[in-house]
Chain A
Amino acid sequence: MQKQPYVTITHYKEREFFYLNYAIQTEDGFIPKEIEQFHESEKDKFIERIRQLQKKYPKHQVISLSLTFNQVVKDKEDPNKACAKIYKENYVIQDKIDIGNLPVTLYFSPFALLYEEYKDKLDENKLTLLIGLFDRKLYIMFATADKVQQSWIIGTRGLTEKQIADRVYKSMKVYYKISYKFADQVEMLVNDDSPKLLKVLREELSMKIIPTQKTIHYLLHHMGADQSRFISSFIKSYLSVSQSKERPKEKINEKSEDITVNSLDDIRLNNPVDSKITSESSKAPFLGKSSGREVLDKKAPVSLFSFIPLLLVLVAGGYFTIQSKTLEKNMNLLASQSLAQSNSTLLSMTSKDVFSAMGKNAELQSATISTENIELKGVVWGIEPLRNSLDELFSNGEFVIKPLENFMTEFSFKSKI
């Protein structure tokens, strides 16, 4: 009977795509298959594909990478959080395993991948700055052979290469303030070719950096290849921490039957629903004694959200400015209307008074009445009563009479109001 192959199925999510790959593990290394890509809207199809592979290859590990911001390297295990041991004295700790409903049996931190990649190059007396660039985040560790001295994560989304390099340099300066040491060498692990970033990093740090370019799938297949490699370094929920401690460290190829048992076996841990990536603005604490000190890690890049308060203020200010102008226009109209109404009333009253003053003593032939003066002209029969009436209404007026040929008398009257 043919021996069933051991297969590592690897997947991770970057931006809106899931990337899936599997590799047949052999004594001479692994043989990767073609990478499959699924849009996040095809999540069900993506999960179904993993299930197919799991069914097809009963001896398998489904391996993924934790790309969240909320993971830190500490020198003590936290029994209440998900953690994985890296180095002799260090643990990567994150609040929970954020995989949602995706099938995963081994879940690694980029810090674990960095350690695995460079552990043989580390020196007890030389400080090495390890930088891993995954999903637009820089996972940084200052490490010696025995332990991680300092670590943090820097978000690079929306930043230029120069800004990223500047932040890496600042992180070095901060570390110098703590330990009075600069890194003796820099190692960089990238999954995409980033020559521009590398160039500015070299300029900014004034150091020689030779990057290692490996795909995430490659790194994960490598991690999953050997049980002794991953047995302690995959992230376990706090529920499985105690169990995993008791597991024997054995070679996969020798005891491949145990692989599934020793893995997380489709972990749906702590909080399966909450698969959101932690806010990039959250702070990554420093290690051990340096916790609480100046934190320069992952300053959030300028996002559209930064403009929201300004936008709201502009909208509110614009709204009230427009409303004020409209109101001002209406108020001016109302003021003009009030003034026009007062003048109209005055004209109406004056006209009424003038016609009333004529009574039976005169007949008005023409009148010009404004709010400032009046001019009247007509025929008068009772001169004195008319004069008196007009004088009562308009003092200091000029009353003139003129006899006409037909034995009638014309009057004219001018006055200011």
Chain B
Amino acid sequence: MLESLKNQSIVTKTLYLLALLLFILWVIPSMVSYYSDMEQYKSSQQEIVKLASKYGVDSQTQPFSQEQFYKDTDKIFEKVTVKKLDEKRYSIEIKMKREDLNSFYNFINTLSLRYYVQIDGELKFKAKDDIVNVSFIISKL
């Protein structure tokens, strides 16, 4: 084999050398980094799955969709309003009975497990008699 390599032209040898250098300096580090990141990713994903299971979320996290969000929450609360503020942000207003507050706590707890979203800033509560209104802003991850 070495003999055969010896008989190759200088251009061929240069190509082989370049391939070897790229393999050592680029492919191997990329492979090592990929497989090490993959381990870390799997472990983080496992934690999220565990957490989701703890809160009874059996579906996979999905990208935020206004329609789907409305469909999911409207059956839990009295009234849900979703307004698009810009490409990433949405304003949410929920009207509920005071007795539904536990559902609301659970809903907030599992929000980021159901959709790739985060709550921006604060929750604003307004309560009168038996009705609680809460408004907040979410943004897509």
Is A345's CB under 8 angstroms from B117's CB? no
Which residues of the other chain, B, contact A291 by a CB distance below 8 angstroms? none
> Interface stretch among A140-148, A237-245, A362-370?
A362-370
Could you mark each residue 69-91 of chain B with 1 if its beta carbon is under 8 Å from any beta carbon of chain A, else 0?
00000000000000000000000
Beta-carbon contacts under 8 Å, A299-328 to B: 299-303, 306-307, 309-310, 312-314, 316-317, 320-321, 323-324, 327-328
Residue in A345, A364, A369 whose CB lies within 8 Å of B127: A364
Q: Does B8 contact A (CB under 8 A)?
A: yes
Q: Does B66 contact A (CB under 8 A)?
A: no
Which residues of the other chain, A, contact B106 by a CB distance below 8 angstroms? 348
Q: Does A344 contact B (CB under 8 A)?
A: yes
Residue in A303, A323, A341, A368 whose CB lies within 8 Å of B122: A368
B contact face: mostly helix, strand, loop, or mixed: helix
> Interface stretch among A77-85, A199-207, A225-233, A331-339?
A331-339
Is A336's CB under 8 angstroms from B109's CB? no
Q: Does B44 contact A (CB under 8 A)?
A: yes
The number of chain B residues touching the other chain, given as a range, is 35 or more
- CB-CB nearest in chain B for A332: B141
Report the Cα distance A137→B24, complex, angstroms.
37
Which residues of the other chain, B, contact A336 by a CB distance below 8 angstroms? 116, 118, 141
Beta-carbon contacts under 8 Å, B44-63 to A: 44-45, 47-48, 51, 61
Which residues of the other chain, B, contact A313 by a CB distance below 8 angstroms? 19, 22-23, 26-27
Which residues of the other chain, A, contact B8 by a CB distance below 8 angstroms? 281, 299-300, 306
Beta-carbon contacts under 8 Å, B109-141 to A: 109-113, 116-119, 121-128, 141
Minimal beta-carbon separation of B34 from chain A (angstroms): 5
Is A320's CB under 8 angstroms from B30's CB? yes
Beta-carbon contacts under 8 Å, B12-31 to A: 12, 15-16, 18-20, 22-23, 26-27, 30-31
Q: Does A283 contact B (CB under 8 A)?
A: yes
- Count of A interface residues, CB-CB < 8 Å: 54
Interface centre among B4, B47, B105, B106 (most CB of A within 10 A): B105
- CB-CB nearest in chain B for A341: B112
Which residues of the other chain, A, contact B33 by a CB distance below 8 angstroms? 324
Which residues of the other chain, A, contact B9 by a CB distance below 8 angstroms? 299-302, 306
Report the Cα distance A321→B26, complex, angstroms.
9
Report the Cα distance A281→B111, complex, angstroms.
66
Could you mark each residue 327-365 of chain A with 1 if its beta carbon is under 8 Å from any beta carbon of chain B, else 0?
110110111111111011101110110010000000111
Minimal beta-carbon separation of B26 from chain A (angstroms): 5
Report the Cα distance A302→B12, complex, angstroms.
6
Q: Does A4 contact B (CB under 8 A)?
A: no
Which residues of the other chain, A, contact B51 by a CB distance below 8 angstroms? 341
Is B126's CB under 8 angstroms from A343's CB? no
Minimal beta-carbon separation of A29 from chain B (angstroms): 43
Is A339's CB under 8 angstroms from B118's CB? yes
Is B30's CB under 8 angstroms from A324's CB? yes
Is B141's CB under 8 angstroms from A317's CB? no
Is B118's CB under 8 angstroms from A340's CB? yes
Which residues of the other chain, A, contact B47 by a CB distance below 8 angstroms? 338
Is A334's CB under 8 angstroms from B7's CB? no
Report the Cα distance A399→B48, complex, angstroms.
38
Is A334's CB under 8 angstroms from B112's CB? no
Report the Cα distance A298→B110, complex, angstroms.
72
Given A282-B4, A317-B26, A369-B125, does the pair A338, B108 have CB atoms closer than 8 Å? Answer: no
Given A295-B7, A331-B41, does the pair A348, B126 have CB atoms closer than 8 Å? Answer: no
Is B112's CB under 8 angstroms from A310's CB? no
- CB-CB nearest in chain A for B33: A324
Is B4's CB under 8 angstroms from A370's CB? no
Is B122's CB under 8 angstroms from A369's CB? yes
Which residues of the other chain, B, contact A328 by a CB distance below 8 angstroms? 37
Report the Cα distance A328→B51, complex, angstroms.
22
Minimal beta-carbon separation of A311 from chain B (angstroms): 8
- CB-CB nearest in chain A for B129: A363
Report the Cα distance A364→B98, complex, angstroms.
11
Report the Cα distance A299→B6, complex, angstroms.
9
Minimal beta-carbon separation of A157 from chain B (angstroms): 11
Residue in B15, B30, B40, B48 whose CB lies within 8 Å of A321: B30
Is B19's CB under 8 angstroms from A333's CB? no
Is A300's CB under 8 angstroms from B7's CB? yes
- CB-CB nearest in chain B for A336: B141
Give me 27 A-to-B residue pairs in the complex whose CB atoms sit less than 8 angstroms apart, sorted by A's number.
Answer: A281-B4, A306-B8, A306-B9, A306-B16, A307-B15, A309-B16, A310-B15, A310-B16, A316-B27, A317-B26, A320-B30, A324-B33, A327-B41, A331-B40, A331-B41, A331-B44, A334-B41, A338-B47, A339-B118, A343-B119, A347-B108, A355-B101, A363-B127, A366-B126, A368-B122, A368-B124, A378-B127
A residues near B (Cβ < 8 Å) are 281-283, 295, 298-303, 306-307, 309-310, 312-314, 316-317, 320-321, 323-324, 327-328, 330-331, 333-341, 343-345, 347-349, 351-352, 355, 363-370, 378
**Top 5 closest A-B pairs, CB basis?**
A340-B118, A370-B122, A320-B30, A309-B19, A340-B112
